[in-house]
A and B are shown apart, each in its own frame.
Chain A
């Protein structure tokens, strides 16, 4: 077996209850259990988290920068999806 630094796992940490897990970096590990422990030791040394997700780095699929235009620009011309698009007369409450 060739020497290696083990596979890469991406680490997501939830800082507080009620908010999303956020990507914080990665660790190297041979399996999920080790990845979780390593993530705990590396990324929560200062009480930064209450929950950890780890995902094998090669299991993540991502959109590509070339797709940026096609993927994300079409939503730029749909301001009517945002509440500020609509003018409501002053004095109307709870809208």
Chain B
């Protein structure tokens, strides 16, 4: 049983030099059998396990992770959270997540540092203006806060943006979602892990899935680096490696895995108190609480699992950033990295049953999965527990690629609609 974190526990532990804090989650060996196994210990996987235990009373479950929890895309993204998606299905999905974010620190008794500092999407040409205005109207019809800002209002909201009309990417306006913002990515994984562990979920790290055992079209268990685990239900939340797991089960998915890059600067005093995303030029910027500029770039255009990404992609992003924010021209970049994102042809996720009974996939989040973490976990847990999708993720089934009923949302990272 974990201790509840509070101001009193903080003071109490201060007297013992913070040396007596309890382990936040255990390090168990896998049991022979579980009611369900989640493959992938990132934010989405841990959230799935948390909601399976909490809302569906499935306590005899495990999360298996080939590395350490939160070490994949959960620890590599730019932590932007928003729900201003165009289509009804996406709006429902992402706003469901945003509503959970708003109370998540309290629910988990773990500070995920959710900060509703607003997310602004810039328009650089006439088509951007039309598309973003349309999206603002669509958002408001779906009960999602959104406002259109003209160039002067953009400048007022974020004064360091260069709004001069003669630059390569002139700012013709933008949209603002004030409820949107950022959160601390590691804390999300750790908070869900601690919460799941407390309810009896086994979190098994350094345990790689080597094979999926099935008899006919029914799941029997998984082969792992720590031996065979018998289970009737396997929920795969493996992000860029979803196709690798699918291939083990003899399935093909409509995914391509590509490196997506991000980088952070040296820390500086507060200069940008919101998140600004530039759809057309793949340039996203915010500032972390430590003072680093957090910059998101685009994906490489080819399949790769290298977790690094190309130099020309970063160069293009920084060119755009420097023109929009001339004040950053002397900043030094400290670190650059890549995460492998699994992209669907319609840039929307898959939260779905499959043709194999007991095998479920939660994948295809592409470049924008972090924002959905709590909602994704909640809906995937519902899908696994009931063997039926929740109404909010029914549209995100895998059969949409057969029926043609796609959720064509090339706005995963607010990339041009």
On whether the two chains bind one another, the answer is no
